[in-house]
Amino acid sequence: MSSVDLNNGFSRNDASVLAERLQVDQAQARARARDPHAELKTRIHRACIAKLGAAFLNLEGSDELERRVQEVVSEELKGEEVPLSPSERALLERQIGDDILGYGPLEPFLRDPSVTEIMVNGYDQLYIERGGVIQETDASFLDDAHVLRIIDRIVSQVGRRVDESSPMVDARLPDGSRVNAIISPLALRGPSLTIRKFAQDALTLESLVELGTMTPQTADFLAQCVRGKLNLLISGGTGTGKTTLLNAVSQFVPAGERIVTVEDAAELRLQQRHVVPLESRPPNVEGEGEVRIRDLVRNALRMRPDRIIVGECRGAEALDMIQAMNTGHAGSMTTVHANSSTEVIERLEVLMLMAADLPMVSLHRQIASAIDLIVQITRFPDGRRRVTQISELTGVHPETKEVIVTDIFNYRNGVSLQPTGYLPSFIDSLIEKRLLESRFLYGDMAATGSAKLGNAPAAKPAASIGHHATAAPVAPAPAKSFNIPPPPPPRAQSSELVENGAAKSTPAAASAGDEWYCLIAGNELGPMNRRDVRRMVRDGAIKPDDLVRCGPSGAWLPSKKAGLSSKG
C-alpha cells in the first residue's frame, strides 16, 4: 500500500500541510468569532499610521496626537461600507485609538481601579484579578504579532528589549505597575504578558487596617518599630502584598533620614524627599553591562545611607543586605518569599549560601543579629490578604545553634491577629525613646475592663496609627496599665553576672525568693514563689513563655532568662 493510500488519498507532505492550514483557519475563525470587526480594525489601524506618517513620531505623547488620531479613525470608519450602530462606531473608535496610542485591549483594565492584575496567556486568552479572584474576560488581541507590538511598546519605554535572543523581560508602566513578558521560543503558546497594577494612591497602614489586613494595634506597633529603627523583613508568597506593606510601613521613616532603595523594577513609592532610588539593569545585546541587585547594595553602602530598602532579596544580595543591617544601617527593610516566619530562616540560608560557602552557625548568628522583626503576610483562598505573624528573632539556641523565632502576634482561631503574651526584648528601647507606652502591650484594663494584650480600647480611631508616640514615658509596669501589683523595691542583695547574661542571686537573695507573675494575654496569676512556678510549669498549667519575673533590681525580666523548663 502506498503512502498516498495510508493518508486517505494524500501524501504525507500534503497531509501535514493541510493540517497546518486547518489549524490556521481555526485560529482565524476563533478570532473572528470573538471579535467580528478584527479585520476592520487592522485595516483602519494601518490606514491611520500611513496617513499620520511623521506626525505620529513628532507629536507622540501630546494631546494634539490624540486629537489627530481620533479624527483620522472617524474619517476611515465613515469610508468603510460596514453597517454600524452609533454605539458600535463609538466602541470601535475607542478601541482603535487605544491600539494606536496606548496598550490596545489592555487599556480598559488598566483604567479600571478594581483590577489588580492582568494576565495574557495568549492572544486569545486574557485574564484579570478583581477583588482577589481571577476571572477570564472576553477581550482578546488580533494575533501574536499584536501582542508583541504591545509588549515592545511597554518595554521600550524603560529602555529594555525583548526578542528571540532575550525572550524574557521585566519592565514597568509609567504609573509604576510591574510588567513581565516572555515570548517564543520559551513561551510555547505565543507571547505571554503579566501586569501587576498598583493603586494610584499608595495604601497606608490605615487603609490596610480598614481592609482587615491587620488590627489597629499591630499597625501601630509596626509603625513605632520602624520609627525605632528596628530592622524589618516582610515575608510572604507571590501576590500576597509584600511590596504594598513595605510601602505602607516606609511612610514612618523620619523625613530627615537618607534612604537608598534598590529594586529590580522600581515599584516602591516612598513619600519622603531624601530618597535615592536605584534599579538593576539586564545585560545588553552583547551580554555586557549587567548591573545586579548585589552590585547596587554594595554601592549603596558607599552612599552614606541611614537606611537601605531592598525591594526583594531573591539571590546572593541577601548576604550583603544582612551585612548592611549589621554594620550601622539600623532600620533597613526588605522582603523575601517564604510561607512562615520560621521558613524565612531556611530561605535566607539558601540565598546567603549563593554568595559564599560559610558555616551554618555563622549564617545563623548573622541573621539573628541583623533582623529584629519578621512580618508574615498570607493570601487566603478567598483573595483576602492578612498579616498572620509578627515575630522577633531572639538569638541562637546554645545547643541546636538554630535561630530562635518567637511570635509576638500570630493569626489563630481563624479570626484575627492576636497577641501571644510574649514580651519583646526591644520593648524597653521603644519605651525609653517615647515611641510606645507599656500599657499598649497589655491593654488599658481600667479603660476596657477586659482588654487583651495588644488590643487597645475599641474607641481608638484607625487614623491615630503611629501618632500616639508623643505621650510621656511611663514606668515599665505601672499597676493601672498592667493590672498587676507593682514590683517590690530593689533588694539590697548583690548579684553577679553569669555567661548568658542572666543575674545570679546570692544565697541570701535566693532564700528570699523571687516573685513571679504569669501573663497570659494580659491576665495575671501571681505573685507566686519559685517553687509554685516550677510545679505549675511541670504540670503543664502554664508555659515558661507566659512568665515575667520580678528580679532583684525590681525590674521585669523575661522568663527566658530564668532557666525554667517543664522538666522542673
pLDDT score for 508? 34
Domain total in the chain: 5
Q: Residue 457: pLDDT above 80?
A: no
Specify the higher pLDDT residue, 383 or 490.
383
Residue 417 predicted with pLDDT over 60:
yes
The set of residues, in sequence order, having a beta carbon less than 8 Å from that of 76 and lying 6+ positions away, is 43, 44, 47, 48
Answer whether residue 461 is part of any domain: yes
Instruction: Report the range out of 163-172, 460-469, 535-544, 551-560 with the highest average pLDDT.
Output: 163-172
Return the pLDDT at 335: 94
Residue 479 forms part of a structural domain:
no
Q: Hunting for cell 552557625 — which residue is that?
A: 361
The CA-based diameter of the chain, rounded to the nearest angstrom, is 111
pLDDT tops 60 at residue 541: yes
Do 123 and 89 share a structural domain?
Answer: no
What is the pLDDT, as a whole number, of residue 99?
76
433 and 326 in a common domain = yes
- Report the pLDDT value the prediction gives residue 549, as an integer from 0 to 100: 55
User: Per-residue pLDDT averaged across 446-461, rounded?
Assistant: 34
pLDDT for residue 472: 31
pLDDT at 9 exceeding the cut of 60: no
What average pLDDT does the segment 46-54 reach? 70
pLDDT at 21 > cutoff 50: no
Is residue 567 included in any domain, yes or no?
no
Question: Are residues 292 and 378 both part of a single domain?
Answer: yes
d(CA 253, CA 75): 55
Residue at 300 is within a domain? yes
Whether residue 272 is found in the same domain as residue 193:
no
Q: What is the pLDDT of residue 404?
A: 92
Within this chain, do residues 467 and 527 fall inside the same structural domain, yes or no?
no
pLDDT of residue 35: 64
Confidence grade of residue 183 (pLDDT, cut at 50, 70, 90): very high
Domain of residue 542 covers 484-561
Answer whether residue 566 is part of any domain.
no
Residue 243 lies in a domain: yes
334 against 436, higher pLDDT? 334
CATH number for the domain spanning 126: value is 3.30.450.370
- Which of residues 474, 502, 520 is at a domain's end? 474
pLDDT at residue 353 is higher than 50: yes
Q: Which of 74-78, 128-132, 203-207 has the lowest mean pLDDT?
A: 74-78
Is 556 part of a structural domain of the chain?
yes
Q: What is the pLDDT of residue 40?
A: 73
Q: What is the DSSP letter of 460?
A: S
- Residue 545 sits in a domain of what CATH number? 3.30.1490
pLDDT of residue 333: 94
User: Is the confidence at residue 56, as pLDDT, over 60?
Assistant: no
How confident is the prediction for the chain on average, in pLDDT?
74
Average pLDDT over residues 130-159: 87
Give domain status of residue 266, yes or no: yes
Q: Is the pLDDT of residue 303 over 80?
A: yes
- Mean pLDDT value of segment 105-117: 90
Helix (H) or strand (E) holding 57: helix 54-58
- pLDDT bin (cut points 50, 70, 90) of residue 516 is low
Confidence check: pLDDT of 444 > 50: no
> What pLDDT is recorded for position 63?
64
Residue 469 has pLDDT above 70, yes or no: no
- Among 150, 166, 200, where does a domain finish? 200
Tell me which of 34-43, 127-136, 199-208, 465-474 is least confident. Answer: 465-474
Asked if pLDDT for residue 28 goes beyond 80, the answer is no
| pLDDT value for 268 | 85
φ and ψ of 314, to 5 deg: -135, 10
pLDDT > 50? residue 216: yes
Identify whether residues 222 and 306 lie together within a single domain. yes
pLDDT given for residue 295 in this prediction: 92
Helix (H, G, I), strand (E, B) or coil at 318: helix
State how far the Cα of 173 lies from the Cα of 239, in Å rounded to an integer. 18
Per-residue pLDDT for 300 more than 70? yes
| Range scoring the smallest mean pLDDT among 144-148, 249-253, 286-290 | 286-290
- Measuring CA to CA, how many Å separate 97 from each of 49, 68, 84, 170, 291? 11, 10, 17, 26, 37
DSSP conformation letters of 484-548: SPPPPPPPS--EEE-TTS-EEE-HHHHHH--EEEEEETTEEEEEE-HHHHHHHHHTTSS-GGGEE
The pairing of beta strand 232-236 with beta strand 373-379? parallel
Q: Which of 101, 133, 157 is the last residue of a domain?
A: 101
pLDDT confidence bin for 346, thresholds 50/70/90: very high
The whole-number average pLDDT for the span 281-286 is 79
* 287: pLDDT strictly greater than 50: yes
Residue with cell 515570548: 183
Of 88 and 559, the structure prediction assigns the larger pLDDT to 88
My answer on whether 381 and 495 are in the same domain is no
Tell me: pLDDT of 488 over 60: no
Average pLDDT over residues 23-39: 54
The predicted structure's pLDDT at residue 482: 31
Q: Which of 14-23, 164-173, 211-220, 434-443 has the lowest mean pLDDT?
A: 14-23
Phi and psi (nearest 5°) for 447? Answer: -85, -35
> Which of the residue ranges 77-91, 152-166, 404-418, 543-557 would you say has the lowest mean pLDDT?
543-557
> Which 3 state secondary structure label does DSSP give 169?
strand
Amino acid at 403: V
pLDDT given for residue 338 in this prediction: 93
What angle do the packed helices 317-326 and 360-370 form, to 10 degrees?
A: 50
- Domain shared by 268 and 153, yes or no: no
Q: Work out the pLDDT band at 161, boundaries 50, 70, 90.
A: confident
Residues 144, 13 within the same domain: no
pTM: 0.65
What pLDDT was estimated at residue 57?
55
Please report which confidence band the pLDDT of residue 550 belongs to, taking 50, 70 and 90 as the band edges: low
Q: How much of the chain, in percent, has pLDDT values that exceed 90?
A: 28
Kindly state whether residues 148 and 196 are assigned to the same domain.
Answer: yes
Please check whether residues 298 and 413 belong to one and the same domain: yes
The region of weakest confidence among 181-185, 377-381, 467-471 is 467-471
Shared domain for 455 and 326, answered yes or no, is: yes
Among 80-94, 132-146, 530-544, top mean pLDDT goes to: 132-146
The mean pLDDT value for 119-124 works out to: 92
